[in-house]
């Protein structure tokens, strides 16, 4: 893992690990970021200030995965099934670039599930605590 980041939501903060990929490097270069989030099933996504130079796409995601949605220029956080899921696993609408994950503990899932459409979400390096 190349970086440890913090997601700040209205009901709490969650630590996440970002993989060593071109997309992840681009994300780290944009930090800190904050935006109004969207909810789609058990996925939160929010628009980034700039596009990421991404690698290979996948539709295979797990609870806790963090991915980049190129068409929406957005970061996606998967914490359960989406409206297109065919099982209990999260499934993106289109293939995404997996760039990291968070530990899907009961506390983290409760924070994610309490997030409401339009609330502000922030992402920053964990060492920047309090600046996001």
Residue 51 maps to a domain: yes
Query: What confidence tier does 131 reach under pLDDT thresholds 50, 70, 90?
Result: very low
pLDDT tens, position by position, 116-125: 999 999 999 9
Residue 132 maps to a domain: no
Query: What pLDDT does 25 receive?
Result: 87
Q: For the chain, what is the domain count?
A: 1
97, pLDDT greater than 90: yes
Query: What confidence tier does 129 reach under pLDDT thresholds 50, 70, 90?
Result: very low
Torsion angles phi and psi, residue 61, rounded to 5: -130, 155
Query: What is the Cα Rg of the chain in Å?
Result: 13
99, pLDDT greater than 80: yes
Query: What confidence tier does 130 reach under pLDDT thresholds 50, 70, 90?
Result: very low
Residue 23 maps to a domain: yes
- Domain of 71 in residue numbering reads as 3-126
CATH of the domain at 103: 2.40.100.20
Q: Which residue matches tokens 């797990």? A: 62
Residue 131 maps to a domain: no
Q: Report pTM.
A: 0.91
Give the DSSP letter of residue 58: B
Residue 25 maps to a domain: yes
Alpha-carbon gap, residue 113 to 120, rounded angstroms: 14
Cis omega (within 30 of 0) for bond into 39: no
Alpha-carbon gap, residue 79 to 73, rounded angstroms: 20
Give the DSSP letter of residue 93: S
Q: Which residue has the higher pLDDT, 8 or 22?
A: 8
């Amino acid at each position: 893992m190349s970086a440890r980041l913090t997601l700040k939501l209205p009901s709490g903060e969650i630590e996440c690990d970002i993989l060593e990929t071109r997309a992840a490097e681009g994300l780290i270069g944009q930090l800190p970021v904050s935006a109004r989030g969207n909810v789609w099933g058990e996925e939160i996504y929010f628009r980034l200030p700039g596009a990421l130079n991404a690698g290979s796409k996948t539709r295979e995601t797990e609870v806790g995965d963090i991915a980049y949605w190129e068409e929406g220029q957005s970061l996606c956080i998967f914490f359960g099934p989406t409206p297109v899921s065919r099982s209990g696993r999260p499934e993106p609408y289109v293939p995404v670039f997996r760039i990291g994950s968070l530990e899907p503990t009961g506390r983290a899932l409760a924070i994610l599930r309490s997030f409401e459409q339009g609330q502000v979400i922030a992402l920053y390096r964990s060492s920047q605590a309090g600046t996001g």
